[in-house]
């Protein structure tokens, strides 16, 4: 008997935020093809993004197959995939999918090796300003005939993890405080405040009697240590334990970085500092599926004050972003919530 089941592999061996932005794909596939077998291929440090996802049948970890191309080829072949969706185009993975005998292969971009292997591709020659990166990822599903897919990202907690999140809140509970997370680092992947400005932000926030502040890094920067009234609960946590802790927050303050997308996937509010440049702006890289708020520098800041390099911009100077502006926006958000 011929096996007609769709067996789909989604490849996203990438950074945290990029993997979170791929989470709509399994859900949207299962909406149209509920009987499909869906697997994801990710790096070991991001696999917890997909843990407990009800739309994913198997999580494949890239490192577990070893470095040998032929060993990886045998490994992928053993799953008998009918479709492969490669969201991060690499020549190695392109040929891996080709020689694995996967008949329908969809990639991103227009590389010569994709042409040689007859890989179907989605193109990004012209970014459409109103589209988000998550929606660009979904172009690969449109190639499969899946129309109007939703872009909301999602991370799924087990019942035990939900109980643990409640216990975190109870352990810090004092008169209904607002739990505010601050993620201070971004690996220079996006414009960000200086660590000294984040320290100032934390010090000012702890003066607010109704706010509990958390620094959410696994490794706390030296500039952010030893702030009285701040919790360092996230320090040294595994990614999955951090995800549970993120779910206990009321809001996360950060730049455009992976934890921002994790918070969105958990339906936690976000307040994010963003650059207005087309390659960095919220319409392209903003979180999807949660209540998202943004702070950007004033008009013409980028041309007059900023260096123009998103990797070195700290939003300092006239018209930029500072701790006081963030606090004003934060208080406005929760003042509005109290009135509703």
CB 120 within 8 A of CB 104: yes
* CATH 3.40.50.2000 placement within the chain: 7-142, 161-339
Backbone angles phi, psi at 39, to 5 degrees: -125, 155
| CB 295 within 8 Å of CB 260 | no
112 three-class SS: helix
- 68 touches 1 (CB < 8 A): no
Q: Does domain 7-142 have CATH number 3.40.50.2000?
A: yes
Task: Kindly provide the b/e burial profile for residues 211-231, where b requires at least 16 CB atoms within 10 angstroms of the residue's own CB.
Answer: bbbbbbbeebeeebeebeebb
What separation in angstroms does the CA of 35 have from each of 4, 38, 303, 309? 10, 9, 53, 47
Bridge partners (DSSP) of residue 45 are: none
- Residue by residue, pLDDT tens for the chain (340 residues) are 345 689 999 999 999 999 999 999 999 999 999 999 999 999 999 999 999 999 999 999 998 877 788 889 999 999 999 999 999 888 888 888 999 999 999 988 777 677 777 678 776 655 555 678 888 889 889 988 898 889 999 999 999 999 999 999 999 876 689 999 999 998 877 889 999 999 999 999 999 989 999 999 999 999 999 999 999 999 999 999 999 999 999 999 999 999 999 999 999 999 999 988 777 888 888 999 999 999 998 888 877 777 777 778 888 988 889 999 999 999 999 986 655 5
| Residue corresponding to tokens 């067996």 | 7
User: What tokens appear for 321 in the block?
Assistant: 């972003």
The side-by-side arrangement of strands in the sheet containing 7-11 is: 58-61, 37-42, 7-11, 83-86, 104-108, 120-122
Q: Is 55 exposed, middle or buried (0-12, 13-18, 19+ CB in 10 A)?
A: buried
Q: How far is CA 145 from CA 9, 148, 217, in A?
A: 16, 10, 40
Fold of the domain built from segment(s) 161-339: Rossmann fold (3.40.50)
């Amino acid at each position: 008997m011929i096996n007609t089941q769709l067996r789909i592999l989604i490849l996203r061996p990438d950074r945290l935020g990029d993997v979170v932005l791929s989470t709509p794909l399994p859900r949207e596939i299962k909406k149209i093809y509920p009987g499909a077998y869906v697997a994801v291929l990710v790096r070991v440090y991001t696999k917890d993004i997909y843990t407990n996802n009800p739309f994913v049948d198997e999580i494949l970890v890239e490192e577990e197959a070893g470095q040998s191309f032929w060993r990886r080829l045998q490994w992928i072949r053993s799953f008998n995939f009918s479709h492969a969706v490669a969201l991060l185009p690499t020549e190695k993975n392109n040929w891996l999918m080709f020689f694995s005998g996967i008949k329908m292969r969809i990639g991103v971009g227009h590389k010569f090796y994709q042409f040689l292997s007859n890989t179907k591709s989605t193109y990004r020659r012209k970014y459409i300003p109103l589209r988000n990166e998550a929606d660009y990822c979904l172009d690969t599903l449109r190639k499969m005939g899946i129309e109007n897919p939703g872009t909301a990202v999602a991370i799924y907690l087990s019942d035990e993890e939900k109980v643990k999140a409640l216990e975190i809140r109870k352990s810090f509970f004092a008169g209904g405080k607002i739990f505010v997370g601050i993620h201070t680092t971004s690996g220079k992947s996006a414009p960000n405040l200086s660590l000294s400005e984040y320290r100032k932000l934390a010090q000012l926030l702890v003066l607010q009697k109704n706010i509990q502040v958390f620094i959410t890094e696994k490794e706390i920067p030296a500039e952010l240590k030893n702030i009285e009234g701040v919790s360092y609960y996230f320090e040294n946590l595994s990614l999955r334990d951090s995800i549970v802790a993120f779910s206990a927050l009321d809001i996360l303050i950060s730049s455009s970085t992976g934890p921002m997308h994790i918070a969105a996937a958990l339906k936690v509010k976000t307040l994010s500092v963003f650059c207005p440049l087309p390659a960095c702006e919220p319409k392209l890289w903003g979180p999807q599926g949660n209540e998202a708020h943004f702070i950007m520098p004033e008009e013409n800041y980028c041309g007059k004050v900023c260096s123009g390099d998103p990797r070195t911009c700290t939003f300092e100077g006239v018209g930029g972003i500072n701790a006081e502006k963030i606090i004003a926006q934060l208080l406005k958000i929760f003042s509005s919530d109290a009135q509703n």
